[in-house]
């Protein structure tokens, strides 16, 4: 989009912001300031804005500006580390319901993507949309074997429209980055980048199907969380066919009570399911608002949730997942010094940060919360405030951790809506401890060693050659950073140490695996032989570490 094409759209944005009396946003961009003189010419908004809060005015303005701005507002609502709580709460209410596009166009897209007439693909296809949003809409259909499904279809031309509006958003972000007095805190270009990434994911329905399939596999029993089945033979990048499910939105308290479902048990189950997604499976539904989380009303005695819409999913790097779990445990146990040390050990903060100062800051945030009954403490709210405090110490957070914050807020909201008296701490703490026990148990560690042993054996013969090549490069001056004799000697010593550790590790791992196999596959030999092999393996590990 050329600058000349951007200007009229920027002026349109400014006029809407002015109409909703969002003058501070206009003042942030010098380009827009003269437009305040022309406010009477812009017309009046459809509601009386004088009595509305700033968050309500911003929400209504974004809704009027269109779907892409609604998406941007939804992303901004998750950044409670950047925007005030009252604005984040209002932006979280944004809905992107838009008029449906003609069913005949949906049918044509399905036929083009699946390379067959709709009549051959489905026994019935309802051209009237069940639901319609800014990116896609959903149609009811029936398979030839009688099973009910829903067909999600991307809007025609949506790629081009989103590309155009993202460019406009980027232009607005650049203006805000340059002129807004708090640009370093709001980081508008980072927010725009998050919107782009989210939209890129939502425009690939095959990716959404893969996410649904993995989540369904993680909860294969369906006892706590049910995920609709993906029909892969009827799925393509712009068409997704899912099993049709029935239930009530988790905020429909009247329907849940009418079905005789124990809401307290359901709320506790929701918290457990969240922690299992994050810390057991490392794959969580990151858009868990009530519209995407239903309750199966047919299961009165064993209530369960139904998950919908898998366009936004989250996972964490394995290291961050571990550090985050340890932070939660320390938070549950009110160990503020450990929280501070964990932030440094995780590399989320520069090593120059003083642990005692960080500990004092964490204590200052947490102590006021612990004066309340545990049932009234919000883990999500506390985590958000901790991250906000840590930003003063140059905390660097990955977008996935921000996504986790938002999901935690959503899940707690659902839990307290179902059971206002739920003690989330009492539910979450034992679940997290159990998951960590299982995840980092000796048995699991042995499985990981066995899995990686072939790779280690394969790499071991190459290690001396790699060290020799590195030393030759130093001698030829190709690695000048090692030209210092002291540094070179240290590097040679380190290489020998790693060789000793690798050799001892390989020997110890082989003996431990041998002990495991003898124990499980040859019990007739008794326990002494595998026990001896296991002790020898541990001794090899210890020798390697001691000599290093």
What's 122-151 look like in SS3? CCEEEEEEEEEECCEEEEEEECCCCCEEEE
Q: Are 303 and 261 in contact (CB under 8 A)?
A: yes
Among 50, 61, 53, 51, residue whose Cα is nearest residue 87: 53
Distance separating alpha carbons of residues 496 and 515, to the nearest angstrom? 29
pLDDT tens readout for residues 149-182: 999 999 998 888 888 777 877 877 777 777 666 6
pLDDT score recorded for residue 491: 58
A 10 A CB-CB count for 257 gives 10
Domain 102-155+204-244, CATH 3.40.50.300 — does that match?
A: no
Cα angle, residue 404 at apex, residues 399 and 409 outer, rounded to 5°: 130
Taken in order 25, 27, 32, 36, the sign of the CA dihedral is positive
Distance CA(364)–CA(359), nearest Å, equals 9
Predicted local distance difference test score (pLDDT) of residue 482? 47
At 535 the pLDDT is: 60
**Low-confidence stretches of the chain (pLDDT beneath 70):** 1-10, 23-47, 75, 78-82, 95-97, 179-187, 191, 374-375, 395-402, 441, 444, 456-457, 459-460, 463, 471, 474-548
pLDDT of 129 reads 93
What are the catalytic residues?
A: 287
Structure-block tokens of residue 220 = 């294969």
Question: 295: part of which helix (H) or strand (E)?
Answer: strand 293-295
The reported pLDDT for the residue numbered 276 is 92
Residue ranges covered by each domain of the chain? 3-96+159-200, 102-155+204-244, 248-440, 442-547
HSE-CB of 436 using CA atoms within 13 angstroms: 15
φ, ψ of residue 131 to 5 degrees: the values are -155, 150
First CA to last CA across the chain, in angstroms? 60
pLDDT of residue 483: 47
- Note the pLDDT of residue 216: 97
């Amino acid at each position: 989009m050329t600058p000349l094409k951007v200007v009229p759209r920027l002026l349109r944005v400014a006029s809407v912001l002015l109409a909703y009396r969002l003058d501070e946003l206009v003042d942030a961009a010098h380009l827009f300031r003269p437009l305040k003189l022309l406010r009477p010419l812009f017309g009046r908004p459809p509601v009386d804005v004088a009595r509305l809060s700033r968050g309500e005015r911003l929400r209504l303005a974004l809704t009027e500006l269109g779907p892409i701005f609604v998406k941007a507002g939804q992303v901004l609502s998750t950044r409670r580390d950047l925007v005030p709580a009252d604005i984040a709460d209002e932006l979280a209410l944004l809905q992107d319901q838009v008029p449906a596009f003609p069913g005949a166009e949906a049918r044509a897209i399905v036929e083009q993507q699946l390379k067959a007439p709709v009549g051959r693909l489905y026994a019935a296809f309802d051209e009237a949309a069940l639901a319609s949003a800014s990116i896609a809409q959903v149609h009811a259909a029936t398979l030839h074997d009688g099973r009910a499904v829903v067909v999600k279809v991307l809007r025609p031309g949506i790629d081009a429209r989103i590309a155009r509006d993202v460019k406009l958003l980027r232009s607005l972000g650049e203006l805000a980055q340059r002129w807004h007095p708090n640009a370093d805190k709001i980081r508008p270009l980072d927010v725009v980048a998050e919107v782009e990434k989210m939209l890129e994911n939502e425009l690939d329905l095959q990716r959404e199907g893969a996410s649904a399939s993995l989540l369904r596999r993680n909860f294969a029993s369906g006892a706590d969380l049910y995920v609709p089945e993906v029909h892969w033979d009827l799925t393509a990048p712009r068409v997704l066919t899912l099993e049709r499910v029935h239930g009530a939105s988790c905020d429909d308290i009247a329907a849940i009570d009418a079905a005789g479902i124990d809401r307290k048990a359901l709320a506790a189950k929701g918290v457990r399911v969240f922690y299992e997604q994050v810390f057991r499976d490392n794959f969580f539904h990151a858009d868990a608002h009530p519209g995407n989380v239903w309750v199966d009303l047919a299961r009165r005695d064993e209530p369960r949730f139904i998950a919908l819409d898998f366009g936004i999913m989250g996972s964490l790097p394995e290291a961050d997942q571990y550090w985050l779990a340890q932070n939660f445990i320390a938070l549950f146990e009110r160990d503020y010094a450990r929280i501070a040390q964990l932030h440094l050990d995780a590399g989320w903060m520069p090593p120059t940060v003083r642990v005692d100062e960080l500990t004092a800051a964490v204590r200052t945030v947490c102590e006021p919360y612990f004066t309340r009954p545990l049932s009234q403490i919000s883990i999500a709210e506390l985590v958000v405030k901790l991250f906000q405090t840590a930003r003063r110490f140059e905390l660097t957070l990955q977008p996935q951790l921000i996504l986790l914050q938002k999901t935690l807020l959503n899940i707690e909201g659902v839990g307290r809506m179902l059971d206002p008296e739920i003690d989330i701490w009492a539910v979450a703490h034992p679940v997290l401890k159990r998951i960590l026990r299982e995840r980092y148990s000796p048995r699991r560690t042995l499985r990981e060693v066995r899995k990686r042993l072939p790779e280690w054996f394969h790499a071991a013969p190459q290690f001396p050659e790699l060290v020799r090549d590195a030393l030759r490069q130093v001698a030829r001056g190709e690695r000048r950073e090692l030209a210092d004799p002291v540094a070179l000697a240290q590097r040679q010593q380190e290489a020998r140490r790693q060789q000793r550790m690798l050799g001892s590790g390989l020997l110890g791992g082989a003996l431990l695996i041998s002990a495991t196999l003898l124990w499980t596959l040859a019990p007739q030999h008794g326990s002494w032989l595998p026990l001896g092999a296991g002790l020898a393996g541990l001794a090899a590990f210890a020798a390697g570490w001691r000599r290093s």
